[in-house]
Amino acid sequence: MDYFKGTPDYVISPELQDSVNVSIALGRPLVVKGEPGTGKTLLAHAIAKALDKKLFIWNIKSTTKAQEGLYVYDTINRLNDARFGDKDISDISQYIKLGKLGEAFAAEEQVVIIIDEIDKAELEFPNDLLNELDEMSFYIPETGKTIKAKHRPIVIITSNSEKELPDPFLRRCIFHYIEFPDNELMQEIVNVHFPDIETKILREALKKFYWLREFDMLRKKPSTSELIDWLQALIIGGIPHSRISKELPFMGTLLKKKEDADLVDNSDGSHYAYKTSKRSRRVY
Amino acid sequence: MDRITRIKPARDQGVFINFFANLKSKGVPVSLHEWLTLHRALAGDLSQCSLTRFYHIARSILVKNEIYFDRYDMAFLDTFSGIETTDELLDRVLSCLRQTRDLKLTEEEKKELKELDLDEVLKNFERQLIEQRNDKDYSSDNGGNRAIGTSGTSTQGAWGYNPAGIRIGQGISRNKRAVQIAERRAFKNYSSDRTLDTRQMKVALSHLRSLLPVGEGEELSIKKTIDTTCKNAGEIELVWENRLKKSSKVILLMDVGGSMTPYSNMVERLFSAASSQISRFKHFYFHNCIYQDLRTDMNGDNTIPTLDYLKAEETDYKVIIVGDAEMAPSELTWANGAVDYWYYNDEPGSVWLQRIRDTFPDIVWLNPLPQRRWNSIKSVRMVRDIFPMFELTLEGLDESIRFLISGKGRLHQVGL
């Protein structure tokens, strides 16, 4: 059985590793949730790379229909071809185009497929895929054929919890919530990106970074990818570590909203007034 | 594939069934389907006999929403805390233990310590506990090889060496034990009773979006297609049209100023974002209670007459009022009871509130105060008599939206 242990450039927590392996062993889709920038999408890439399997990416948009992932019957093309009679249009199968999920099912060997940001689609979208993901097969009425996966593909589904996923769908999945990496794990992640970063800079930057994230009222908390950008800026800018601890150079890479930047500026280095959870209600 | 793999009854089946029951009683929605999946995973030895891995694997299979992680932790504690040390015991042991020197063993010595299986270790532990209870003095236990202490080679205690040892309360540990992880209850904040914060606000908004009828997209306009195809002398041209999008209508009334100040930012943010989601969105402000004027800005510089507005507005709007309803009862019951000194109201606030209630059948009041406090505040009780009230939390908001959509507001009457 395939056993996923992460890749050199994708640092993975043991919990996530367990979840992935359970999902592979049971042949169930793995639903990955978590804050933006915690590497949900990259997970599928890492699995495909580590296990040396082909990766199919199905990006979901608000208009995506479940059917598109399975197959599309190009009726218009057939109608077009019918007018001139130079093509044999009785063979419908030439107008059936498999979608990403369909391709993954039809593949000869086991593949990895990621259904990215499933919560972008309509509410009923996951329900429409219920049976297909359960059986890993679907029926094409136009040709009377059934596409059935020879090897159950490794299915990774990411969600930003914009919409709740329906219970019957979740029941058939393995679920993992990626916690925001703690300081230790974050250092490992940073080291993958910047193998020779100065320890002092990294330490100060991380201290500052987690301090920023403590603000409850931020509209958009800085995420891992923003931290990486910020460190890049710090390194290129040649900022000494002493300056990082005193001020916040290149704050724009971390905080993208003006309100957030103002909030941090006005905070005077204290979280207190900006935490909803700690607020007392004695304001009259 | 055989869908129900037969699982051999394990010795500790009882504990497992308890776990399932505990999860249920803590309100984690676990189905039998998922429970069987977990057994299949365990039959495949995916947890490799480690309680920590079992904790994570069971969670990934049984719990499908992070808001339930905290409850899962509690259920896990209830079920499995017996397997590890109890708090009470931990305190007693810890009070007698001090960290001494690190233990250094030669390879041979390490070999001598044969790896015991967990059952043996636990039995061993239990036996020694009973023995030690009789002894009363723990402090002499440093460096021993049998009992609990530090730097020892027995199977219990911290900083010791035994591959199958039980670790007792070592404080910081990288390889966290499952029950410790559960005890930490790191997901408490994701629990859905908590008041909305930025991240959850986004989720809450998506709940608001469920007020919108779904189904945006493109539709083939057959009539126009035929028209243009004819004009093109048979060359097919397809004409797509946007499907008509049904709109949802929401009026938001927000309490600002005074006791709402701590929440105003939160409320404002929630609904300025909501205004972008909902196509027909109107909002007004008030201070403590609504009287004959509705404020159209936060400061109250611009107002419109409430009565005219109620008469003119379409009554199928869904109305959400946000406020803490915490005020002097006189603000509700007296003419000229308004909290603003310069403001004179002919009719008491409760009359105005009742008018609003009667105008819009689908109406809810969201209160940022925790529900347990509602009954102890007189004005909240009074407002609750008029409006269906929900807590301004993720769960409360969800519930209120469901309430609005289902039209239950029409059923809500005083005293029912």
Give the pLDDT confidence of B205-254 residue by residue, as tens digits: 555 555 554 444 467 778 888 888 888 877 777 777 765 554 567 888 88
DSSP letter, residue A78: H
The span from the CA of B372 to the CA of B396, in Å, is 13
Share of chain B above pLDDT 90, in %: 1
Single-letter amino acid, residue A83: R
CB contacts of A163 in chain B (<8 Å) are 206, 209
- Tell me the CB-side half-sphere exposure of residue A141, using CA atoms within 13 A: 1
pLDDT for the residue B165:
39
The residues, any chain, with a CB within 8 Å of residue A86's CB and separated by 6 or more, are none
Contact B64 A175 (CB under 8 A): yes
- Closest to B241 measured CA to CA, from B257, B258, B225: B225
For A:51-90, CB contacts with B below 8 A are 62-63, 76, 79-80, 83
Closest by Cβ to B56, choosing from A18, A62, A63: A18
pLDDT for the residue B402:
74
In terms of residues, how long is chain B?
416
Where chain A has pLDDT below 70, the residues are: 1, 161-164, 216-217, 219, 267-284
Closest by Cβ to B206, choosing from A18, A162, A219: A162
Contact A163 B206 (CB under 8 A): yes
Q: Categorise residue B258: left if φ over 0, alpha if ψ from -120 to 50, beta otherwise.
A: left
Concatenating the DSSP letter of every residue in B349-409 gives HHHHHHHHHHH-SSEEEEE-S-GGGGGG-HHHHHHHHHS-EEESBHHHHHHHHHHHHHTGG
The span from the CA of B192 to the CA of B172, in Å, is 29
Residue B84, pLDDT > 70, answer no
Supply the mean pLDDT for chain B: 69
pLDDT for the residue B90:
47
N- to C-terminal Cα distance for chain B?
53
The span from the CA of A107 to the CA of A148, in Å, is 10
Provide the token pair at A94.
């030439």
State the complex-level ipTM. Answer: 0.78
The answer, for A243 touching chain B at a CB cutoff of 8 Å, is no
pLDDT for the residue B75:
87
Measure the CA angle with vertex A58, ends A157 and A186; round to 5°: 50
* Of residues B322 and B275, more confidently modeled: B322
Single-letter amino acid, residue B138: Y
Single-letter amino acid, residue A59: N
pLDDT for the residue A122:
75
Q: Which residue of A has its CA nearest to B258?
A: A284
The residues, any chain, with a CB within 8 Å of residue A240's CB and separated by 6 or more, are none
Provide the token pair at B300.
């109250």
Provide the token pair at A32.
């990955």
Residue B147, pLDDT > 50, answer no
Strand, helix or coil for residue A203:
helix
* Of residues A67 and B107, more confidently modeled: A67
CB A250 within 8 A of CB A205: no
Min Cα separation A55/chain B (Å): 23
Concatenating the DSSP letter of every residue in B261-317 gives HHHHHHHHHHHHHHHHHSSEEEEEEEBSB--SEEESSTTSSSEEEHHHHHHHS-TT-
Provide the token pair at B146.
């049998």
The span from the CA of A148 to the CA of A137, in Å, is 4
The answer, for B262 touching chain A at a CB cutoff of 8 Å, is yes
The span from the CA of A4 to the CA of A2, in Å, is 7
pLDDT for the residue B265:
67
Strand, helix or coil for residue A189:
helix
Give A239: exposed, middle or buried? Use CB within 10 Å, 0-12, 13-18, 19+. middle
Residue A59: what are its φ and ψ, rounded to 5°?
-85, 130
Tell me, rounded to whole angstroms, the distance of Cα A240 from its chain centroid.
34
Q: What is the pTM of this model?
A: 0.59
Q: How many CB pairs lie under 8 A apart between chains A and B?
A: 106
Contact A176 B206 (CB under 8 A): no
Q: What are the tens digits of pLDDT across the range B346-390?
A: 888 888 999 998 888 889 998 888 888 888 888 898 898 889 998
Contact B265 A283 (CB under 8 A): no
Closest by Cβ to B262, choosing from A177, A179, A283: A283
Residue B108, pLDDT > 70, answer no
Residue B12, pLDDT > 70, answer no
Helices (H), chain A: 14-26, 40-50, 66-70, 75-82, 100-106, 125-128, 130-135, 167-171, 183-193, 199-213, 224-237, 241-246, 258-266
Residue B6, pLDDT > 50, answer no
> Highest mean pLDDT range out of B101-115, B184-198, B247-261, B295-309?
B295-309
